[in-house]
Chains A and B, each alone.
Chain A
Amino acid sequence: MRKILFPILGLALLLAWPFVAEKIGSPALITLFTRMMILGLAASALNIALGFGGLVSLGHAAFYGIGAYAIGISTTHAISGEPFLGLVSGSNLLIVNVLVAVVVSGMAAAIIGALALRTSGIQFIMITLAFAQMVFFLFLALKAYGGDDGLTFRRRNALFDLNMRDDATFFYVTLGFLLVWLGICARVLHSRFGLLLGGIRQNERRMQAIGVNTFRLKWFAFIISGMGAGLAGALMANLGRFVSPDLMHWTTSGELLIMCVLGGSGTILGPVLGAFALIGLEATLNTWTEHWQAILGPLLVLMVLAFRGGLARIGGRKP
């Protein structure tokens, strides 16, 4: 029962949230929750590689950032009217841009994954970090697209005739994307592919022995995971109408990992829960004291020590 009950309650709360936020006089909470959902989507994307594929990537900020930059670059080209690299013109349509973002970040994940998957364990953590750092420094030095200052664009991308400027509308658009993504996750993970992936996580050698091409499966998982992160980046770029290399800083990768672990890696809803918990905690502590990190730090440590397996598994079965 509770397996269905909690998600439905959560969804109901989210659907009602913009009205609640207006009622209690804090409309800023709408965008805060939009941010949480977007980061939840990113964490859930990371979770495909991490929780289901057992691939600990400390470089997902790269895909997240690339997705965001795809939006930023396409939109600024659409505004200026100059084609990108003199070839392709930019676009101002959300659907087009999101597709571009997902494809581009998927390609990046395909390249990085193909190289990184030759290693495993800590080396895998570090090589993904290394690639992400290279991407970070690349965008930092890219003066044509703002470098450290980033890119600002005035309007969110258009979706049908919706008033995207309205934060509540964008909230529901984001919620829509999140639900679609979670649906895809559930589909993929319960498919033959998902089961094989789980098998690899538990014992790769055995899977190889029964004739599974484990490298290819892990590679696919990594690519899907990168595409999801790119989707999240695309939404984040639209939320803030702003992109900067700050999105790809290694601490972003770290935070995504924390969300997964906090919420429960290897569960479908856990990472989203983790994102809500972490961002909510940060936002609350920041209003209490400027030394909020002195509280958040030990709290994280305690949570690791106390809750094994993450929030999504509290009271549930052991992982």
Chain B
Amino acid sequence: MKTMRMMAVAAAAFCAAGAVQAQEPLKIGMITTLSGPGGYLGQDIRDAFQLAIDMQGGKLGGVPVQVLVEDDGLKPGQGKQISEKFMKTDKVKLLTGIVFSNVALAVVPDVLEDGGIYVSPNAGPSNLAGKECHANYYVVSWQNDSLHESAGSNANNLGYKKAFILAPNYPAGKDALEGFKRAFKGEVIGEVFTKLDQNDFAAEIAQIRAAKPDFIFQFHPGGAGIAFLRQYQQAGLLDTVPMVVPSPSMDAVTLKAIGEAAVGVNVSAQWNNDLDNAANKAFVEAWKKKYNDRPITYYASQGYDTALAIGAALKGTGGKVDDAKAFRTAMLKADFASVRGNFKFGNNQHPVQDWYSMKVVKGDGGAPIIKTMGKISSNTGDFYAKDCKL
């Protein structure tokens, strides 16, 4: 009898402990870049991710969640250190947040090997999209090359024939030019690699003027892109030689920093704040309510979508992440209303989505805006999906 009661007490205590544990929020680890010139990308991803949680009352898919955020400082080594701490000390199973491909390439394989799940809100390097694809690795944003392929298709649609292309001399830059050339049907009459930390482009602009192309394609994310565009416009070339860029070279933040000088630039992206769907309207409205006139970027939309995608998966598994297989089944359904409209996962668990052509025009209030002009392509997957055996 005595033993029975003891067991009952123990069982009750155990149940109580279980109940307490169930109420404890699920921890999601976010490794992202907050310091340095690229810091605003991480900040937007983090804030939009949190915004999605706040909009669902501190939950994702009905499951209370808590986001642990740490700054990787754009250092792969530091990112690794953080992921290790998250997984081993904080027992986090689900990670997200990395902005830059070089950090992702260092961190993601380890996370996967240790049995974690990684959902990318931004970087989608080719190395992880093809043969090396993984059942517990999801990309909500895009595969890197798609950005540049969409720009190439955009140039085709715009009827341009002779291209002059520029990107920094590092793998992401070289991939950008490759991706662009893969989709572009015209002729490339000039190709220039700039320095990685360069921000004065006078020499390159003089070469462009001498080459007389139909248009230029350039990929310079962040500050270098701002500098390039300003100098290009000041040289008086933007009116005569139009510019086609992928989204990282012209987001709402860089646009705000450049101002009117950017009017006329052609952009391609998977999302824009004027896309006409209910999910997007709700997102844009909530963002404006919380952050007023802070520009709303692609990165923010990706962070928000990542949170929604995770939420849909959590709803499917009842908040459990220990069973990666069950999580995968739920995740791949992509049962959420993406702010970009059509969205599903391809066989390599990267997005299959629509790409839009956009242009920088003068807005009603005078400040320039990025306006959606039309669709470039529908339900587009990526180049590396065919090599993935998932």
- Asked whether the complex places CB atoms of A and B closer than 8 A, the reply is yes
A residues near B (Cβ < 8 Å) are: 25-29, 31-32, 35, 137, 140-141, 143, 146-150, 152, 154, 236, 240-242, 244, 246-247, 283, 286-287, 290, 292-293
Report the bound CA distance from A152 to B111 in whole Å.
13
Which residues of B in the span 99-115 have a Cβ within 8 Å of any Cβ on A?
A: 101-102, 105-106, 109-110, 113
The answer to whether A141 and B81 touch (CB under 8 A), given A149-B125, A150-B106, is: no
Interchain CB contact under 8 A, B106 and A240: yes
Contacts of A149 in B (CB 8 A): 101-102, 105, 125, 127, 171-172
Whether, in the assembled complex, B35 has its beta carbon less than 8 Å from a beta carbon of chain A, the answer is yes
Interchain CB contact under 8 A, A147 and B77: no
Contacts of A247 in B (CB 8 A): 77
Report the bound CA distance from A137 to B193 in whole Å.
13
Interchain CB contact under 8 A, A290 and B71: yes
Q: Closest B residue to A240 by CB, please name it.
A: B80
Whether, in the assembled complex, B23 has its beta carbon less than 8 Å from a beta carbon of chain A, the answer is no
User: Could you tell me the distance in whole angstroms from the C-beta of B377 to the nearest C-beta in chain A?
Assistant: 27
Q: Closest B residue to A292 by CB, please name it.
A: B71
Report the bound CA distance from A31 to B114 in whole Å.
15
Contact with A along B79-111 (1 / 0, CB 8 A): 011001101110000000000011001100110
Interchain CB contact under 8 A, A244 and B81: no
Which residues of B in the span 48-93 have a Cβ within 8 Å of any Cβ on A?
A: 69-71, 75-77, 80-81, 84-85, 87-89
Contacts of A293 in B (CB 8 A): 35
Interchain CB contact under 8 A, A29 and B35: no
Which residues of B in the span 196-221 have a Cβ within 8 Å of any Cβ on A?
A: 196
* 24 interchain pairs, CB-CB under 8 A: A25-B89, A26-B88, A27-B88, A28-B84, A32-B81, A32-B85, A35-B77, A35-B81, A140-B196, A141-B169, A147-B171, A148-B170, A149-B102, A150-B76, A152-B105, A152-B109, A236-B77, A240-B77, A240-B80, A246-B102, A247-B77, A283-B81, A286-B71, A287-B70
Interchain CB contact under 8 A, A148 and B70: no
Among A27, A35, A152, A236: residue with most chain B CB under 10 A? A152
Interchain CB contact under 8 A, B84 and A31: yes
Contacts of B81 in A (CB 8 A): 28, 31-32, 35, 283
Report the bound CA distance from A143 to B127 in whole Å.
13
Main secondary structure of the interface of B (DSSP, over half): helix
User: Could you tell me the distance in whole angstroms from the C-beta of A207 to the nearest C-beta in chain B?
Assistant: 40
Report the bound CA distance from A147 to B127 in whole Å.
13
Q: Closest A residue to B85 by CB, please name it.
A: A28
The answer to whether A26 and B76 touch (CB under 8 A), given A35-B81, A141-B169, A147-B170, is: no
Contacts of A152 in B (CB 8 A): 105-106, 109
Interchain CB contact under 8 A, A150 and B105: yes
User: Could you tell me the distance in whole angstroms from the C-beta of B142 to the nearest C-beta in chain A?
Assistant: 17
Which of A31, A141, A242, A287 lies in contact with B170, CB distance below 8 A? A141
Interchain CB contact under 8 A, B89 and A143: no
Report the bound CA distance from A240 to B305 in whole Å.
31
Contacts of A32 in B (CB 8 A): 81, 85
Which of A28, A148, A154, A286 lies in contact with B88, CB distance below 8 A? A28
Contacts of B102 in A (CB 8 A): 148-150, 244, 246
Interchain CB contact under 8 A, B174 and A143: yes
Report the bound CA distance from A213 to B261 in whole Å.
62
Whether, in the assembled complex, B34 has its beta carbon less than 8 Å from a beta carbon of chain A, the answer is yes
User: Could you tell me the distance in whole angstroms from the C-beta of B74 to the nearest C-beta in chain A?
Assistant: 8
User: Could you tell me the distance in whole angstroms from the C-beta of B386 to the nearest C-beta in chain A?
Assistant: 22
Contacts of B70 in A (CB 8 A): 286-287
The answer to whether A29 and B89 touch (CB under 8 A), given A149-B171, A150-B102, A242-B80, is: yes
Report the bound CA distance from A249 to B105 in whole Å.
18
Apart from A28-B88, A140-B170, A244-B76, what are 17 other A-B pairs with CB-CB below 8 Å? A27-B89, A28-B81, A143-B171, A143-B174, A147-B174, A148-B196, A149-B127, A152-B109, A236-B77, A240-B80, A242-B105, A242-B106, A244-B106, A246-B75, A246-B76, A290-B35, A290-B69
